[in-house]
Amino acid sequence: MHVIYAFGLLILLAFLGSRLIVRRKRFLSPLTFLFLSGLIYIFVGFYLGRGVLNVLSPQVLQGLTPLIGLGLGWIGFLFGFQLEFKYLRRFPGKYLGLSYLQFLFTFGVVFFGIFFLLKVFYVSEPSFLLYGMALALGLLISLNSPTLINASLTLFPTRGQYFYLARFLVSVSGFWGVVGLALLFSFWQFPFLESKVFISGMIRLLASTVFPVLIGFLFHVLTRKKNQEQDLLVFLLGLVFFVSGAAFYFNLPPLYLGMVLGITFSNLTKIQEKLYPLLLSTEKPLFIVFLLLIGALWEFNIDYKIALLAVLTFALRVIGYTVSLPIIGRLLHFPLKLSPAFGLSFLSSGGIGIAFAVSLKLAYPLPLTDIFLSVALLSIIFGEILSPLGLKYSLLKSESEEKI
């Protein structure tokens, strides 16, 4: 009965929140962007959790855990659905090269910086677990959310090349991080170095990739004569939930399977541009439910180690993005002058970053994973608060330099 009551409460909050808060379109201050991005619901979920009201108690959360898996799959699907080849080929090839090299540089900076501090703080933990946590934080930092730049459209009425470059990078960057998540799920077996880890990892990775591709192709064949977008939306919801449920059952990453499914179907269907707005309209209530559950799942035990790791993670994010762009730009002979300030456009991880962090929390129920989730969520919150200021400063500065 408690599970039914909690589920009804989640639906009510999602309905009200999608109309009162997330519906806002304007680019406002850092505080209001925290509402716009929906991250405020993490704190609401924590308030409803065992830490305060205990409405979403551990027993209730156990019954609602499949909803988190469905939310992960839906976020992955929406992200993958925007990666349409017809859209990507509009941009020069150097844009994609910049995205990949930026990911590698920032990943390396975060990995080595975090691993050193982890070795100091958690000397009793096995080294391979600390390697895994450093790898995960490095991949997390590579993820960028397009929510901020989409919300800032009114701020830049005359959008130049830097605006469209930033929009491309935040749209594509998450692909590398989610692929890294699939590699972690496939090859980071526990206990570590178990027998035939490479073979089992390849099988898991292959299954995670081939299964959603086949399902997406089959769905396209069965529905290609349907022209009603609303009907397709209902079928798509069921399809994503089916793939997410299968991933959750077999301990595969729903976020990755959803992304592959979204990429597959968006490149097969001819009505991608009509379906995408409908998909976004369903995102709001589902995303709010997802965030509420994450807040209730979060064990908010913050000590000085977690706080320092979160601050360092965010600082390394800033260093990685600001330092890498001028270097990569010269290396690629990039047509635009990329100053360090332009890297401040990429401080927001948003929902894709939260989904990444929660995916690892569900896959590896270890004490160190709870620490990872706290560090990840705190660094994401830092980014969401400061990202509006960073984006405004970086793009306005870049556009002004372009005119000189």
Helices then strands, counting H and E runs in the chain, come out as: 16, 0
- The string of pLDDT tens digits covering residues 215-272 is 999 888 887 776 676 677 778 888 888 999 899 888 899 999 999 999 999 998 887 7
Angle (nearest 5°) at CA 190 between 253 and 296: 55
Query: What pLDDT does 7 receive?
Result: 64
Are the C-beta atoms of 359 and 208 separated by less than 8 Å? Answer: no
Query: What pLDDT does 1 receive?
Result: 47
User: What does the pLDDT average to over 19-27?
Assistant: 51
Cα of first residue to Cα of last residue in the chain, in angstroms, is 66
Query: What pLDDT does 23 receive?
Result: 46
CATH of residue 367's domain is 1.20.1530.20
Query: What pLDDT does 392 receive?
Result: 82
Tell me the three state secondary structure of residue 49.
strand
How many other β-carbons are positioned within 10 Å of the β-carbon of residue 274?
12
How many other β-carbons are positioned within 10 Å of the β-carbon of residue 249?
10
Q: Residue 80 corresponds to which tokens in the numbers above?
A: 């993958």
User: What does the pLDDT average to over 358-365?
Assistant: 87
Q: Residue 125 corresponds to which tokens in the numbers above?
A: 């933990």
28 pLDDT more than 60 = no
Q: Which of 67, 69, 66 is nearest to 253 (CA)?
A: 69
Cis status of the peptide bond prior to 191, with omega within 30 of 0: yes
Q: Tell me the pLDDT of the chain averaged across its residues.
A: 83
Are the C-beta atoms of 352 and 145 separated by less than 8 Å? Answer: yes
Residue 234 CA from chain centroid, whole number: 24
- State the total domains in the chain: 1
Are the C-beta atoms of 393 and 341 separated by less than 8 Å? Answer: yes
Query: What pLDDT does 85 receive?
Result: 83
In terms of Cβ atoms closer than 10 Å to its own Cβ (0-12, 13-18, 19+), residue 6 is: buried
Q: Is the pLDDT higher at 142 or at 32? A: 142
402 pLDDT more than 60 = no
Query: What pLDDT does 227 receive?
Result: 62
User: What does the pLDDT average to over 61-79?
Assistant: 86
CA dist list (Å): 54 to 3, 22, 65, 68, 295: 12, 25, 16, 18, 12
Q: Dihedral sign, CA of 337, 339, 344, 348?
A: positive
- The string of pLDDT tens digits covering residues 300-327 is 778 889 999 999 999 999 999 999 989 9
Alpha helices in 298-366 (DSSP H): 304-332, 350-363
- The string of pLDDT tens digits covering residues 267-291 is 988 877 777 777 777 777 778 888 8
Check: pTM over 0.85? Answer yes or no: yes
119-128 exposure pattern, b = at least 16 Cβ within 10 A, e = fewer: eebbeebeee
Q: Residue 94 and residue 325: Cα distance in Å, rounded?
A: 13
Range(s) of the domain holding residue 38? 2-403
Please tell me what DSSP assigns to residue 155.
G
Query: What pLDDT does 24 receive?
Result: 46
